[in-house]
Structures are given as structure tokens and as C-alpha cells.
Structure 1
Amino acid sequence: MKILLAAVDLEAGSHKVVARAAALAAQLQARLHLVHVIDEAMVLYEPMVEISVRRRLQQGATQALQQLVDALPAGQRDNIERHVLLGKPPHTLARKATELKADLLLAGRHHLEPVQELFLGTTVERLLRHCTMPVLVVGQGGDRPYEKVVAATDFSRSSHHALQAGLALAPEAGVTLVHVFEPPMLLGFLRHEPMHTDSLMAHQRTRIEQEVREEMSHFIPADDQGRISTRILSGEVKKAITSVVHDSGAQLLVLGYHGRQGISRLLIGNLAMSFLSAPPCDVLVAR
């Protein structure tokens, strides 16, 4: 990862996004772009007033970005560019990230008013719809390298991409690869299946263990396999993953944006959105 873009909304918590982005850029020796988008809806459309308001907003945002950079440790202030743009935030950020060929987009926890969020979704959720690169949602802040990572897998292409992005983002971290299947989906078939419940569960676990081994061999470089441990759990998916994050003390949770489909497999599916409203730690989501 050589080009990082951090979406900075200049609200409370922006310093956490900038601190994490700058630390990652220094760790990965990457170029960092801080981008603030002035929502075009904030600019009045009377010509002379619009020019005046836009200029003041741009000047204020530029100064605020500079203050955030000045607050960083001296060794992290290099290789940072600042951009103040006008437009619709999700579309403008996605377009800028594509223009810069960014490898990663960082954002904070953005929330709209409850009624707006019901119909439009959060800014982060809309970003994920428009961006092709992984998105890192900074929830807890901090600038120390990630030491413990939990990556959920449902064996989809999306979860493969997310795991690879997580390994690149945390090159020294220990990684717990987790797959969760839900027993209630199996039990509905038992009236037509003579196999005993325990035996069926054991059979399912054995099959999933084989899938995990295949995933490790096909999608993970040999150098990274030594730092990955695996866990196969049954139960309610979000609860199980959250428990692993808390028990392991992970600073980063890695998820795929699109889940794998198919009734023949018990999969974690797409949980990314459900974790973003109250993330247990930083969350990395990839398509």
C-alpha cells in the first residue's frame, strides 16, 4: 500500500483518523492525502454570496487540515498532501481516490440524523458502495501499529480480498481467521436427515476446516501463514465475531463487503454494515 487517502470531515474525532492515517503512512512508507469535501448543499446559490461563502469555507477547511497536520509527531508530517474539494462527499471522495489510485481509504464514524440515516445510510456505507479500494473505518484511534487482527471469512472473493488487505496493512500482526456457522440453519433439515445432531455438526466442522486449509494454501502467501491461527465457531455470527475480537484484544477487524451465497454452505455473509454503527475496534472492509 503506497497511496492512502483519509476522508476528514473536521468534526469531533477527526484527529483520530488523521493520527491513524499518518502512522500507517509512516509505517508503510506511503504517500498520504488528507481530503475534506465541502458539501455542495452548504453553499448558497446566489452567485455573489456563493463565491464568498465558498471562499470562507475553503479557507477555514484548509487551516483546519493544517492544524491537524501540525499536531502530528514531527516524523509523520512528511509526504502528506491536503485537498479541499466541493461536491457530494461520498461521490467526490470516491472520485478523488480513483484519481489518485489510492490503495486504501480511511474514514471516521460518520452519522446522519436518524431519519436521514434510515433512508440514505451513513456516509461510510455510501462510500463503500462507490469505492473499489478497501475502506478502513477508524473507531478507537491510536497510532501504534496493529498487533492483533481478527479476520472473518466466508470463503468469498470479498473476504479473500479483505484478508489480503489486512495482512498488508498489519504486516507484523498476529491474525485470527474466523469462520462462524449457525446451527439453527442445520437443525431445520434434521426431520429429513437421520444423522444425529452431534454427528452432523462434527461433519460440518470437518468440511469447514478443509475449506480453511484450502483458503490458507491458495490465497495466503507462505510467509504470512505462520502468523495466522484459525477458529471455527458455531452460533450467532455477529455475537461470535465480537466475542473473538474482545477476547483477543484485537485492534483491527477485517470483513468482506459481499458475502458468498448458497444454501449448501453455512456462511457468515455480509456483516460489514452491522459492525460499522458501533465498531468494537477499527474495521477494514474490502469488496
Structure 2
Amino acid sequence: MDMYKKILVVVDPTRNEQKALKRAIELATRLTESAGEAVNITAFFSIFDFSYEMTTILSSSERDAMRQMVIKDKQQWLDDKVKELAPSLDIQSEVVWHNRPFEAIINQVIEHDYDIVIKGTHQHDKFKSVVFTPTDWHLLRKCPTPVLLVKEHEWPKDGNILAAINVGSDEEEHLSLNNKITEQASKLADLIDANVHLVNSYPGTPVNISIEIPEFDSTEYNNAMLKHHQDSMKEHANKFNVDPSNTFVEEGLPETVIEQVAQKIDAELLILGTIGRTGISAALIGNTAEHVIDHLNCDVLALKPDGYISPLAE
């Protein structure tokens, strides 16, 4: 199984607990055992201190020297942290100076052909909820590789993976992404001994239609819409040998349906697609998506359509 041969892990230097690095080690270990081929991990983060850029006391060369001292110090911390968590693994590490973390991460991906980015999400102590940072959202929208955002949920044996798909669309981009999401879910399920579940939402009758056209039969419309999505889901599930009892077709907003199903099955991982440069679309639509994923106590793996090119690469 050669789905991920090069993993870039984004380390948080402000925290002692490095859940993203632990998840990367877990994933790489399983991949190596499965494929019999070593998986490369690079631990990475960027730093920036505006005061070094603004001071007029130092010359340009002195500022460069100061930056290099800071980088060297952080590099030593990172090397120590890697050895502490994985003394037997050969994990590379790199610290760079950059004022926009998401750009530094995506530049690394593009320059070194990484297959996946793994990053932890922040815990909001006051409410004990996970808060996605601007860096997370930039990565979801602009990173050309899959992005795995790690939370607190373990990956237990015989756990559940939830794949959010859009079976109601006939657009080639959506159909292709549905296949990609489900293939990824199946491969990961085999790798970590989990069960694949599929979820799809469909819209109810638009309120304005019922008001403007009194003779409009909303029940008939809803039934027809439900049947269309159920038939499409059955066909898609059969193609990937997913048990029909592990499929969910629900009326409602995608973000609401996904959250409810993820909680119902206690998913350890949600896999969804992001389409286009405007960020999450198709699987999740609108600003509420951010709040929904924040509320889920599971990892989130976001995939891009085939052929996606990051705006940073253009």
C-alpha cells in the first residue's frame, strides 16, 4: 500500500503534546508493515519574530545571524522532541523562517513532493472544544495534498471511518471525488482495521417554492429526492463493497447531517472533499462548516480533486 510515502508533520512548538507527530508515527508504522517499504517523515514548523525584521540597530547581516541563531535553537528543540517520541525511527526535521505558516507548509509540499500533511488542531481550554486556526483553513483550501487534521480521538481496532460524499450530483468532478474519498476510506480502513461508513445529505423542499406554488406537492418531491439519493448511494456503495447498513442518506444541510452521523457511529476519522479555490464545497457548504468540524471529536482528512493545482504553485 503506497498511498503515503512522504509525510510532512506540522509540529506546534508552543505545546509539549505532539499529537500530529504521534499520529504520523502510528500511520507510518502501519504503512511500513503493510507495504514492507519505509515511509519518510519530516517534522516541520515555521517561526517568525517581527522584532528581528524591524530593528534598525542591527545591520542586514546581523539580522540574518540572529534569525539563524533562533532557527538553530528551535531546530535543536525539534530534534530532541523527535528523539523523545520515536527514538528508533529516522525522522527528518526542518525549521524555517516565514511570516505565514500556511505558505511555508504548502511551499514545503510543492518543493519536496510530500504525499500528505498531518497537523494537530488547537484545544480551546475554556470550552474544551477544538478550534481550527486560520492556518488549518488555508491548508484545507490551498494545499494540493491530502490534509489530516488530528484531534484527541484514538484510532481503535474495529473503529469507524466516515466518508462524506455527494452522490446526488452528476458532475464529473463530484463523481470523481466521491470515488477518491471512498477509495481512500477503504484503504485506510484496511490499514487500521476499521469499518467504512458513507454519508450523504440531500436538500428538503425549498420553502419559497411551497409558498409561491401552493399546488406544489412537497411530499412527492421529497420522496423522489430521497429515492434518487438512496439509489445513487446503493450503486456507489456496491461499487466499493460497502455494507448497505453502513450507509446514511439523510435530509438536511450537509454539515448538520455529517455531524449527527459522525457522533452516532463515534467516527474516529471523517474523510471529505474540498473543491475549488473557495474552500470547502460539495461535502460542506457555507461558514457553518467551520463550526461543525470543530464540534467533531475525530480526525478530519480533506482531499482535493485530481488535477487540483494550489494557487501558491501558479
Provide the TM-score with structure 1 as the length reference.
Answer: 0.78
Contact 1:13/1:108 (8 A) holds in 2:
no
Among candidates 106, 109, 113, match of residue 94 of structure 1: 106
Residues in 2 aligned to 1:143 and 1:21: alpha-carbon distance in whole angstroms: 12
Flag structure 1 segments of 5+ consecutive residues without an equivalent.
112-120, 260-266
Structure 1 equivalent of residue 209 of structure 2: 189
Q: How does 1:75-154 map to 2 (within 5 A)?
A: 77-87=88-98, 88-109=100-121, 122-140=134-152, 142=154, 147-154=159-166
1:176-219 alpha-carbon deviations (Å, 9 max, x no partner): 1001123253x44345485643333222111001221333356x
Residues in 1 aligned to 2:16 and 2:149: alpha-carbon distance in whole angstroms: 12
Contact 1:150/1:250 (8 A) holds in 2:
yes
Write the letter of the residue equivalent to 2:220.
Answer: S
Contact 2:117/2:148 (8 A) holds in 1:
yes
Q: How does 1:1-287 map to 2 (within 5 A)?
A: 1-12=4-15, 15-29=18-32, 30-39=39-48, 41=50, 43-44=52-53, 46=58, 47-72=60-85, 74=87, 77-87=88-98, 88-109=100-121, 122-140=134-152, 142=154, 147-155=159-167, 156=174, 157-171=176-190, 172-185=193-206, 187-190=207-210, 192=213, 194=215, 196-216=217-237, 220=240, 222=241, 225=242, 229-258=246-275, 268-270=283-285, 273-287=290-304
Structural RMSD (CA): 3.0
Contact 2:203/2:252 (8 A) holds in 1:
yes
Residues in 2 aligned to 1:217 and 1:14: alpha-carbon distance in whole angstroms: 41
Residues in 2 aligned to 1:227 and 1:84: alpha-carbon distance in whole angstroms: 47
Seen in structure 2, the aligned counterparts of structure 1 residues 97 and 234 have a Cα distance that, compared at 3 Å, is same
1:139-160 alpha-carbon deviations (Å, 9 max, x no partner): 2164656821111111324444
Contact 2:161/2:194 (8 A) holds in 1:
yes
Flag structure 2 segments of 5+ consecutive residues without an equivalent.
33-38, 124-132, 168-173, 277-281, 305-314
Write the letter of the residue equivalent to 2:182.
Answer: L
How far off is 1:15 after superposition?
Answer: 0.8
Percent identity at matched positions?
Answer: 21
Write the letter of the residue equivalent to 2:79.
Answer: Q
1:41-89 alpha-carbon deviations (Å, 9 max, x no partner): 4643542442343123212221222232233255xx4142111122232
Residues in 2 aligned to 1:281 and 1:178: alpha-carbon distance in whole angstroms: 16
Aligned length: 264
Provide the TM-score with structure 2 as the length reference.
Answer: 0.72
Write the letter of the residue equivalent to 1:179.
Answer: N
